[in-house]
Every structure is written in C-alpha cells, then in structure tokens.
Chains A and B, each alone.
Chain A
Amino acid sequence: MKRKSSIMVLLLIVLAVAALSGCGNNSNSAAEGNTKTNAAGSDKPYAGVVLRTISNPSNQEYFAKVNKEFQEKTGIEVQTDTVGNADVTPKLMNSFMSGGSTYDIFVMDVIDLPRFVVSGWVEPVDQWLTDDMKNEMLPFAKQALQYQGKYYGLPFASEYKSFVYNKTMVEKAGFSGPPKTWDDFIKYSQALQEKGIVKYGSAWAWSQTEGLVCDFIAIASSMGGKLFDENGNPVFNSPENTAALQLMVDMIYKYKVVDPASIQYNETNVLDAMSAGDIAFELNWGLPLTPLNDESKSKIVNQADVAPLPYTVSSATIAGPMSYAISSGSKNKEAAWEYIKFLNDTEGSKRQAIEIGMFPGWKSVYEDPEVKAGVPGLDKILEQAEVAVNRPQIPWYNEWSSKFQVELQNALTQKKTPAQALADAFAETQKIQESNK
C-alpha cells in the first residue's frame, strides 16, 4: 500500500512535468490546417486557406458580409475574432508573443506602426504594392503606412477629428456662422451660455487617454505649435504650445465655457453630450454628423454642421489613420494580402465609405460621385483632411503619450501651471528617449 501510493504520486508528477516541458518552446499550432493550398495556376490559388483576424465589434455585419463574398471569390475563409475594443490589444500581444501566427491580419493604428515594426511583428508589403497605389493615396494616409522607408498596409480608415457646431443653437444665440478664431469660440460659448441655450459651450475628450493628446495636438497646431521636430526630437515646451495648454485651462476655469467634466470624458461622452443638446461644439472622429442625425440616439437631428477648427494661426486637426496589416508570423501572407486588397483597394474602400462611412485614404474615392452622393457630409469635412496633422512616428510613442497625458492633466486639474507641466513633460520625454536609444 505504501509503495503503491508513492508510485502513483511519482507517476503524476512525471506526467505533469512532461506536459509542462512540452510547453517550453513557443511553437504555435493555432494555425493548423491553414496551409492546404491548391495546385498553382488555378484561378483560386489560395482556396482552402483559413485566415484569422481580430477586431472590435464595430461594423461586424458589414465584415461578415464582405468575408463571405471574399470566400466565394477566392476560396479563402476569414475567421474574425470579435472582442471589446480595449481587449484587442492584449489578445494581439499574446499572438505576437507566441509567434504571431494566431492572427494573420490585424488593424493597426498609426501610433502602433513604429513599435510593431521594430519589434518585428508586422510584415512589409512593398513587394505587392504598385506605384499606382502609392500615388493614389492621400498624403497623411500614406505617411501613416510607412516606417523607415517601407510600407505596411493599405489605408483602412483614414480618419481625423472634425470640428462640429450646432448651427441651430449658434443662430439662436445671434451668430450667422461658426466661430473662426479661438476668441470667437469663447465669445460664442459665453453668449450661448448667457442665453441659457446650453450650460457649457463645449465638452472635450480630455480624460487621461490618447484622445487628450489628439485634442492638444489639434489645438496647439491651430496656434502654430509643434510637438516634435523633423528628427523626432521633442520641442513642445515652446511658447505656442504653452499658450495652447493655457487656453485649454482657461476655457475651463477662467472663461468657464468648457464643461469641467471634460477631464473625465472620452470621445463617446462628448458625442453623448452633443447629441443630448447639452453643448454646442465638439471635435470628434470620423463622420461626426452621422450619429448626430440618428433619430434613435440624438435630440439634435439636422442641427449640426461641420466647420474648420477655430485657430489663432491657421486651422488644423489631428489625424488618426488605421490600416490592415499582416502579422510577420503569418503562414499565409500572400492570401492575407489578397484579403487586404479586397477590403481596401480603391474599389473596396469606396464600398466601405458608402456602406459604413469609413474614411477612404484614396484620392479617387473622395472624388467619386457615388461616394459623394452616398456619404453625406464627406465633402464638407474634406477641407479638414488637408490640415490634418499626424502624430510623431516613434517606437516609444505609447510610453511618451502616457506620460504626456498625465502632464496635460496636471495642468487641466490645476496641479501645475501649463508651462511647468510642459517643461516636466519635456524632461520626461528626454528620459524616455535616452532609455530607448
């Protein structure tokens, strides 16, 4: 009896260890069965291939439909893993860290590109990209696809933030058009508030998230500020940037025209306030008029309009382009490229623009009469595309942004003066830069 049980224990431990040592190498079997390729030369060279991709739930139905058509056309099956927006990152990281074959294709934000490239997680697409394609792309969309001289995808959503104002309210307050300068903006807001039309003129996405950095860059650019020079070195402790941050702080505490709740708002909260008719101005992504004109969610249907962001030097806004990219661990890169092309070449982008209002990154699509007719408001915000600023392309962008958000919030919560906050951010940035050399 004594011997028997100890043998059992031993056996179990051996089994457990055996199971574990098997996990020791990082090989990945999730992509099994993905490589059943047909004989070359057929019209469906990749028939039977299974591509896996991950996405947030936005526009699920559209992608389900498109994936089905893609399968009929090429025989390639696309399986989409849908998770909450914030959950894409950890799942994607797990895929990268385990060899990068779990997902063949993923959506990459402009700020992720440099980090993914230097980590070796994303595959360049230069071998497939034609010159025609390169010439067709909008400048800021094209810039967002390149890093260190290579291209990494096709433009999927070449978005930027647009300034929106509630035309009806502004007219009610006695003005004929949108505010042009920041002084106008404050004057308009105060008038709107005095007449009791709104409690606050505007609300912004100034919570401790990327949205705050985006809004700051837009406002700073409109006042002639610049965060990084051409070599990627920080220059943001300039008088222009300090003035921009001072303006943001003053609009909350001095002029009281920005809802202090902005400090906890993200873009969704801003949209909620705008559609509830509680504010008259917003800066938001994509086609901001579409949700504002949605009867089921908005109380200000047909009241809002788009205009350039107010400025002191010249109007500007922030770009946030995204692209589909191929994982460098993918075993089916050619098939993955076929899919990206299907989704986002000019034809695919046109369809995307019309059906789900995704911003095309191709010039010809913007000019397409069908698109103009099918996407109301697109032409109106086009002028903002020309002044859209991209964020710096640095591998340590997230690390920098995270520190920068905190310093901006230190100013917005009046823990520090704007000059002090930016000076501290500058020092932090130099440290990060040093540690990443």
Chain B
Amino acid sequence: MSKSVKKVLLFIGVALVMIFTLAPLIWAFIISISPGKELASLARHWLPDSFTLMNYKQVLSLSDNAASFKNSLLNSLIVATVTTFFSLIFGSLGAYAFARLRFRMKDRLAVIFLITQMVPSIAIALPMYLIFNRIGLLDTKSALVLANLSFTLPFIIWMMRAFFESIPKELEESAFVDGLGRFGALLRIILPISAPGLFAIGVFAYLNTWNEFNTALVLTGSSQSKTMPVVINEFLGRFSVDYGLMASSGIIGLLPPVLLTLFFQRYLVDGMTAGAVKG
C-alpha cells in the first residue's frame, strides 16, 4: 500500500470513529440551545429557528434549593479527584503484588476481588447505606470516596496487573542487582515505564467515579455531598423531563474530565521514553 492510500484510509477511519463519537454529543448541544417548543421540529430542520442560552444560564444559576448544579460539580470534582488519587496509589501497589510476587492464594484472591464487583449494586446499596449510617458518614463526600474506592480498586488492580506483566522482568532484576529494594524498583523502574497504563486507569477511576449514580443516590442527601449525576437526575419531574436543562448540564459536566485528559495526555503518548529507562 502506498503512503497516500494509507493516509486516506486513516483519515476515513478516524472520521468515522469521530462521527460516531460526536454525533450524539452535537445532538445534545442542539437540544441545549433550542427553545423548548422547537424540540419537536428539530428532526426536520436539525437546527432550531432561534437559539437560546437560557438553559445554560438556568443550570448555572440553580442555587435557591438543594439542586445547586455548581455545587454538585464541585462535589463531583473533589470526590473523583480524591478517589482517583487513592485508586492510583493503592491500585498500583496491589497490582504489583499480583504481577510480580508469589504468595499463597494469589489466583483465588484475584478472583475474589472480581467477585466483589459482580454482585448487582441493587443488592449492595442498602447494606452499604446501613454501614455509613452507622458510622455517621451519610451525606458526606468521604463516604462517596470510600464507596467509589471499593468499586474501582478491584478493577484497577486487574488492569494494572496486565500492564505490569507486559514489562520485561529483566528490568527489575537488574535494578535489584543495582541495590534497589523491591519498593525502590517499583517506584523508580516499574511505575515510570507504566505511565500510559497509569494514565488509563487514572481516567478509568476518574470517569467511573464521575458518573457513579446508584450509590451516590443512596448515600447523599444534601448539597454538601450530592454529585452531578444525582443533581442532573433531578431534572426528571413526575410528568416533565427538562431535556434542555439535562443536555446543557450534561455538556457543562463534560468540561472537567475532557480538560483533565487533555492536560494529562502526554503520559499516554510517551510512557516508555518518559521514564528513567531508555533503550
């Protein structure tokens, strides 16, 4: 295949993936700037006759009651960031143990970790509510961080383990020879090489926490802990769905994760070369 043909194919492929990814988003954007009564004619014209920023204004000014969207955005940011931070630390430590160390019950423990995530959250939500009620952490961000950690850690350990296992053992072994302990080898050799993997599981922890709804619904009660998905659900009234508000809040809610991933991108690009080890 000549280079230009390859280029065209690449372009077509990327374009197709982007259309699939972005078409629903653009649709959401159109809904968010359309006046309510135009929604029914959008299918025919694709764009509203007149557009409005009312929905955005309204979402950002919702503050007179429990449903303060801005507040929930902040809560979500805090919960997701803290959860991601601890997920990365605890998760990569645990994953290293599975990837490199020999210990009893290893395989069984790995499967048990996974089983904890297989039970439908419907069965888990109520007793978890009882726990946090008991220790007085209901309606706090800490409770959300802890709960989300318990959801992300098992998965993260599995994912990170796969990344660690793809790193040649010789790297570490030579580090031991050089007098680095296990911890030193993990910190100075393995983790830097695994930057792309760390980025990926960081995004995983962040976005899953960002979107977590079922547990957040059960554990929160007021604006001091309600996260964004919980507040967005409040646009669903008994016989009214505010499509405009939902779409605009969904789009505003995209900004933090998208900006963060843009910023941390570079770790995805050059893990191998960014580390202390160069070929």
Question: Which A residues lie within 8 Å of B113 (CB)?
Answer: none
* A286-B240 Cα distance, complex, nearest whole Å: 12
Interface residues of B in 213-253 (CB under 8 A from A): 217-218, 221-222, 230, 233-241
A56 within 8 A of B: yes
Q: From B8-16, B37-45, B267-275, give the one contacting chain A.
A: B37-45
Interface residues of A in 1-55 (CB under 8 A from B): 19-20, 22-23, 26, 28-30
What does the 1/0 interface line of A47-78 toward B look like (CB < 8 Å)? 00000000011101100100000000000000
B36 within 8 A of A: yes
Closest to B218 in A: A94
B7 within 8 A of A: no
Closest CB in chain B relative to A205 CB, distance in Å: 10
Q: Identify which of A86, A94, A98, A297 contacts B37 (C-beta below 8 A).
A: A297
A81 within 8 A of B: yes
Q: Do residues A296 and B217 form an inter-chain contact, with CB atoms below 8 A?
A: no
B22 within 8 A of A: no
Q: Do residues B233 and A83 form an inter-chain contact, with CB atoms below 8 A?
A: yes
Closest CB in chain A relative to B73 CB, distance in Å: 17
Q: Do residues A80 and B66 form an inter-chain contact, with CB atoms below 8 A?
A: yes
Question: Which A residues lie within 8 Å of B237 (CB)?
Answer: 56-58, 85
Q: Do residues B37 and A22 form an inter-chain contact, with CB atoms below 8 A?
A: no
Question: Which A residues lie within 8 Å of B233 (CB)?
Answer: 83-84, 86-87
B86 within 8 A of A: no
Q: Do residues B217 and A87 form an inter-chain contact, with CB atoms below 8 A?
A: yes
Known: A57-B234, A60-B65, A276-B37. A268 touches B239 (CB 8 A): yes
Closest CB in chain A relative to B69 CB, distance in Å: 12
Closest CB in chain A relative to B227 CB, distance in Å: 12
* A23-B234 Cα distance, complex, nearest whole Å: 30
B104 within 8 A of A: no
Q: Do residues A61 and B130 form an inter-chain contact, with CB atoms below 8 A?
A: no
Q: How large is the interface on B (under 10, 10 to 19, 20 to 34, 35 or more residues)?
A: 35 or more
* A67-B239 Cα distance, complex, nearest whole Å: 23
What number of residue pairs across chains A and B have CB atoms under 8 A from each other?
98
B131 within 8 A of A: yes
A240 within 8 A of B: no
Closest CB in chain B relative to A50 CB, distance in Å: 13
Q: Do residues A83 and B65 form an inter-chain contact, with CB atoms below 8 A?
A: no
Q: Identify which of B36, B67, B125 contacts A57 (C-beta below 8 A).
A: B67
B126 within 8 A of A: yes
A346 within 8 A of B: no
B79 within 8 A of A: no
B257 within 8 A of A: no
Question: Which A residues lie within 8 Å of B131 (CB)?
Answer: 20, 23
Q: Do residues A90 and B218 form an inter-chain contact, with CB atoms below 8 A?
A: yes
Known: A57-B237, A80-B66, A268-B239. A276 touches B41 (CB 8 A): yes
What does the 1/0 interface line of A97-135 toward B look like (CB < 8 Å)? 110000000000000000000000000000000000000
Question: Which B residues lie within 8 Å of A60 (CB)?
Answer: 65, 67
* A204-B133 Cα distance, complex, nearest whole Å: 43
Q: Do residues B36 and A297 form an inter-chain contact, with CB atoms below 8 A?
A: yes
A275 within 8 A of B: yes
* A434-B39 Cα distance, complex, nearest whole Å: 48
Q: Do residues A267 and B239 form an inter-chain contact, with CB atoms below 8 A?
A: yes
Closest CB in chain B relative to A2 CB, distance in Å: 15
B64 within 8 A of A: yes
Known: A57-B67, A98-B130, A98-B133. A90 touches B239 (CB 8 A): no
Question: Which B residues lie within 8 Å of A93 (CB)?
Answer: 126
Q: Identify which of A30, A57, A286, A298 contacts B138 (C-beta below 8 A).
A: A30
Closest to B136 in A: A29
A91 within 8 A of B: yes
A271 within 8 A of B: yes
Residue of B65, B125, B129, B238 ringed by the most chain A CB atoms within 10 A? B238
Besides A64-B64, A85-B238, A87-B233, 4 more A-B contacts (Cβ < 8 Å) are A57-B234, A64-B65, A81-B66, A271-B239
Residues of B at under 8 Å CB distance from A?
35-37, 39-41, 64-67, 125-127, 129-131, 133-136, 138, 217-218, 221-222, 230, 233-241
Residues of A at under 8 Å CB distance from B?
19-20, 22-23, 26, 28-30, 56-58, 60-61, 64, 80-87, 90-91, 93-94, 97-98, 267-268, 271-273, 275-276, 278, 284-286, 296-299
